Amino acid sequence: MLKFKILKQSNKSNGSDHCRARLGTIATDHGVIDTPIFMPVGTLGSVKAVSVEELDNCKAQIILGNTYHLYLRPGCDVIEHMDGLHEFIRWNKPMLTDSGGFQFFSLAKLAKFSDEGVAFQSHIDGSRHMFSPEKAVEIQMILGSDIMMSLDWCIGYPADEKQTMEALNKTTLWAKRGFDFWQEKGAVNNLFGIVQGGMYKHLRTLSAEQLTQIDFPGFAIGGLSVGEPKEFMYEMACHTLPLLPANKPRYIMGVGTPEDLVELVGMGCDMFDCVMPSRNARNGQLFTSKGTINIPNAKFRFDKGPIDTDCNCYTCQNYSRSYLRHLYKSRELLAYRLNTIHNIYYYLDLMEKMRDAIKQDRFLEFKREFYSKRQK
Amino acid sequence: MLKFKILKQSNKSNGSDHCRARLGTIATDHGVIDTPIFMPVGTLGSVKAVSVEELDNCKAQIILGNTYHLYLRPGCDVIEHMDGLHEFIRWNKPMLTDSGGFQFFSLAKLAKFSDEGVAFQSHIDGSRHMFSPEKAVEIQMILGSDIMMSLDWCIGYPADEKQTMEALNKTTLWAKRGFDFWQEKGAVNNLFGIVQGGMYKHLRTLSAEQLTQIDFPGFAIGGLSVGEPKEFMYEMACHTLPLLPANKPRYIMGVGTPEDLVELVGMGCDMFDCVMPSRNARNGQLFTSKGTINIPNAKFRFDKGPIDTDCNCYTCQNYSRSYLRHLYKSRELLAYRLNTIHNIYYYLDLMEKMRDAIKQDRFLEFKREFYSKRQK
């Protein structure tokens, strides 16, 4: 069972800037992770383009798997036969799986939501399936993730209050049923609840109140990064994070840019996941301490330097921007790997730097430095 | 300068089966390679899907780069600025570059052959270019390969005697001019001549006679694997190999299957290159000691075993057929890498096993065992 320990809690203010960042650890059956943490996304049982050893070298402590995707491919029968997802993909550190809620919103065809759960058609072959809150937990137990997520109804932006309320109510109902099922089964995997409520503060409050009555070992904020303006995302996160129990991990799902991570850690968020570092890498966009660069840009044609002189990743230690540009322009498979290694390292190194700053009680200074480098 | 040493020469017969296999070493400025050797193909400055460290772990001793491709992308100005191909791609072992001859046959648009050289249009953007034999050497000097190849005219199958003769004559003319240019420049890189002559034994003889009058440090047989029936390829190789100087390396270009390598080593060939292990890997076809398998096959869905229980590659040591099938079916980038690692390892391990067999004077026994495993 999960154990969350807070090692340091910041409560500093500096002008208009507040810091509620906190440093902690989450102990799971597959090891201990340091928070705040970023979780690279391994949708289909592989963080696209990189190996588990490379993830290790990028300082990855926990990765995410997608229940919806893995349920469809390779299927639970395969993963069960292969003794769970950890064994199947050869990742022996902690793993979190989402519930499928986000994919019903973003990917599945004709998803129909009812008290019972979600009926949907596969985005691959149109085949019909049904996820109940119990089934979402059951599948994740087969996957064997260390942290499972409760089935939720994630709605897009914009959504009116009525729609948002309906999604919220179902999410709460499903959370209770999923939790009861999990308790009955006595599963060793942990289960987190997901707060919804769209872009309405009072509905976020309501959702948080309802969800936190259930004794989940951790809570997530879902339904952000669904197309809303950035200020709304920050406003909802800032409003909702303090409503979640201080003694349990807080996870904001599907967010975000390096700037988002810095802002949200400052608001007291402990866990993040996002496809951005890996997806952008495959599109040639690389993160650096001075901002993002587009590697296909002609100005890198003769550039002997690394992506980021401040970076200690394998790619920056070995390869020039010129070579990376060439690989990318030539669509060589190695391009996607080398770019992904860099971007994931950048994200995880950023998290480590934030943890160090919190430890030394200098998070606001860190934040100032972070932004000042980017303005150069 | 290249030094070729023959350590063991087999001259055994066994019924109808002869063995002219030989064991040797080729010393270059970037290190010594053991022959017979297979050279993985790194078309655009990367052996597709694998890193240089992975090539090392696959026992790669020398890789091949494609002059035509690298000349077009990233361009010689870039590679010159980056201090040569070795530095650019971070491969510090020997490298061989072809002359472009094969690509004029297979890829370039509207290639026009004259005494002067080859005028062609880029397959990428249709831009017009000209390779003279001197220019082919000059570009390869910029690439900085350890073994450069003379510009040749590679013709397809079928080709009539007149066409074949014309290509042969140009190849000889260009070989002389390329050689003279190379001598004038006093380049440290080595230059090999390429025998042509299509599927005509007497033209192969003629080409070999003309070429071997030029003091190249090594000779290749080109114009095979261009669509001809397998027996013709063996017939031409078997006929031509003994016509090449015994004290210099003999290289058959663009060949072939594991069976081809075994046959041609038995005929006394020292060097090979082929895209087959890497290309087939990307198509899900994997080589094993018992024959090839197609990893997407449904029978591997629940298969916990490795690709090949006899294989010590990274992929076989870590991953199941079930996972590899899943990755491949899901088009995960990791699939291409893991498959390529296995296939290249298989090829290079096969070469090592052949070298061991020659050393122990048991190549014909090795060959029998090789085939008997595949018949099971």
- If you average pLDDT over residues B355-365, what whole number do you get? 97
The values of phi and psi at residue A193, to 5°, are: -90, 155
pLDDT at A189 > cutoff 90: yes
| Type of residue found at B104 | F
CB nearest to B78's CB, from A46, A74, A322: A322
* Residue A273 bears catalytic tag: yes
Q: What is the 3-state secondary structure (H, E, C) of chain A?
A: CCEEEEEEECCEEECCEEECCEEEEEEECCEEEEECEEECECCCCCCCCCCHHHHHHCCCCCEEECHHHHHHCCCHHHHHHCCCHHHHHCCCCCEEECCCHHHHHHCCEEEEEECCEEEEECCCCCCEEEECHHHHHHHHHHHCCCEEECCCCCCCCCCCHHHHHHHHHHHHHHHHHHHHHHHHHCCCCEEEEEECCCCCHHHHHHHHHHHCCCCCCEEEECCCCCCCCHHHHHHHHHHHHHHCCCCCCEEECCECCHHHHHHHHHCCCCEEECCHHHHHHHCCEEEECCEEEECCCHHHCCCCCCCCCCCCCHHHHHCCHHHHHHHHHCCCHHHHHHHHHHHHHHHHHHHHHHHHHHHCCCHHHHHHHHHHHHHC
B17 is catalytic: no
With cut-offs at 50, 70 and 90, classify the pLDDT of residue A376. low
| Rounded average pLDDT over B197-205 | 98
pLDDT in tens, A74-96: 999 999 999 999 999 999 999 99
Residue % of chain B over a pLDDT of 90: 95
Q: How far apart are CA A248 and CA B35, in angstroms?
A: 63
Q: Which entry of B98, B260, B308, B349 is annotated as an active-site residue? A: B98
Mode of pairing for the β-strands spanning A128-131 and A117-121 = antiparallel
Q: Does B329 touch chain A (CB under 8 A)?
A: yes
The pLDDT-based confidence of B14 (bands split at 50, 70, 90) is confident
For chain A, domains (ranges, CATH) are: 3-274 (3.20.20.105), 277-376 (no CATH)
Question: Nearest-CA residue of chain B relative to A69?
Answer: B330
- Ranges of H-type helices in chain B: 52-57, 67-72, 76-81, 85-89, 101-106, 133-143, 161-185, 201-211, 230-240, 258-266, 276-282, 314-318, 321-329, 333-359, 363-375
Mean pLDDT, residues B143-159 taken together: 97
The answer to whether B217 and B190 have CB atoms below 8 angstroms apart is yes
B376 band by pLDDT with thresholds 50, 70 and 90: low
Asked whether the beta carbons of residue A319 and residue B90 sit closer than 8 angstroms, the reply is yes
Burial tier of B128 (Cβ tally within 10 Å: 0-12, 13-18, 19+): exposed
Is the pLDDT at A15 greater than 90, yes or no?
no
pLDDT at A16 over 80: no
Q: What is the mean pLDDT of residues A343-361?
A: 98
pLDDT of residue A11: 83
Give the pLDDT confidence of B290-320 residue by residue, as tens digits: 999 999 999 999 999 999 999 999 999 999 9
* Residue of A270, A273, A308, A349 marked active site: A273
Q: Maximum distance among all alpha carbons in chain B?
A: 62
Q: Residue window 13-72, chain A: list those with CB within 8 Å of chain B.
A: 44-46, 48-51
Using pLDDT thresholds of 50, 70 and 90, give the confidence band for residue B265: very high
Model confidence at B375, pLDDT cuts 50, 70, 90, reads confident
Asked if the interface predicted TM-score (ipTM) of this complex is over 0.95, the answer is: yes
Name the residue facing A82 among B320, B333, B334 (closest C-beta): B320
| Interface contact flag, B320 A50, Cβ < 8 Å | no
Residues above pLDDT 90, as percent of chain A:
95
Residue B102 labeled ligand binder: yes
pLDDT above 80 for B20: yes
Instruction: Give the pLDDT score at A304.
Output: 98
Give how far Cα A100 sits from Cα of A127, A215, A282, B22, Å: 16, 21, 24, 60
- Cβ neighbors of B373 (< 8 A, separation 6 or more) are B289, B290
Q: Tell me the pairing of strands A63-65 and A95-97.
A: parallel
Lowest mean pLDDT among A17-21, A191-195, A360-364, B175-179: A17-21
Indicate the average pLDDT of chain A: 97
Q: What are the distances in angstroms from CA B347 to CA A205, B45, B210?
A: 62, 20, 33
B342 assigned ligand-binding residue:
yes
Tell whether omega for the bond before B277 is within 30 degrees of 0, i.e. cis: no
DSSP B126: -
> Which class for A59: exposed (0-12), middle (13-18), buried (19 or more C-beta within 10 A)?
middle
Q: Is A347 on the interface with B (CB under 8 A)?
A: no
Chain B CB contacts of A337 under 8 Å are: 51, 333, 337
Contacts of B51 in chain A (CB under 8 A): 334, 337
B361 annotated as belonging to a binding site for a ligand: no
Search chain A and give the residue with CA nearest B45.
Answer: A327
B292 membership: H or E segment, kind and range: strand B291-294
pLDDT at A361: 95
**pLDDT given for residue B15 in this prediction:** 77
Using the structure block, give the residue that is written with the tokens 């807070």.
A6
Query: If you average pLDDT over every residue of chain B, what do you get?
Result: 97
CB of A123 within 8 Å of any CB in chain B?
Answer: no
First and final C-alpha spacing in chain B:
46
Q: What is the pLDDT of residues B24-48, one digit of tens each?
A: 999 999 999 999 999 999 999 999 9
Q: How far apart are CA B257 and CA B110, in angstroms?
A: 30
Mean pLDDT score, B325-350: 98
Residue with more model confidence, B271 or B110: B271
- What residues in A contact B318, CB-CB < 8 Å? 90
**Which residues from B are below 8 Å from A301, CB to CB?**
74, 78
The per-residue pLDDT for A13 is 82
Neighbours of A157 (CB within 10 A): 15
| Residues A99-121 pLDDT 10s | 999 999 888 778 999 999 999 99
Cβ within 8 Å, pair B50-A334: yes
Query: Can you tell me which residue has the tokens 């998290």?
Result: A351
Tokens of B98: 């072809």
What are B162-184's pLDDT values in tens digits? 999 999 999 999 999 999 999 99
- Cβ atoms of A41 and A66 within 8 Å: the answer is yes
CA distance A269 to A216: 17
The 10s digit of each residue's pLDDT in A250-304 is: 999 999 999 999 999 999 999 999 999 999 999 999 999 999 999 999 999 999 9
In this prediction, residue A209 carries a pLDDT of 98
Confidence of residue B3 (pLDDT cuts 50, 70, 90): very high
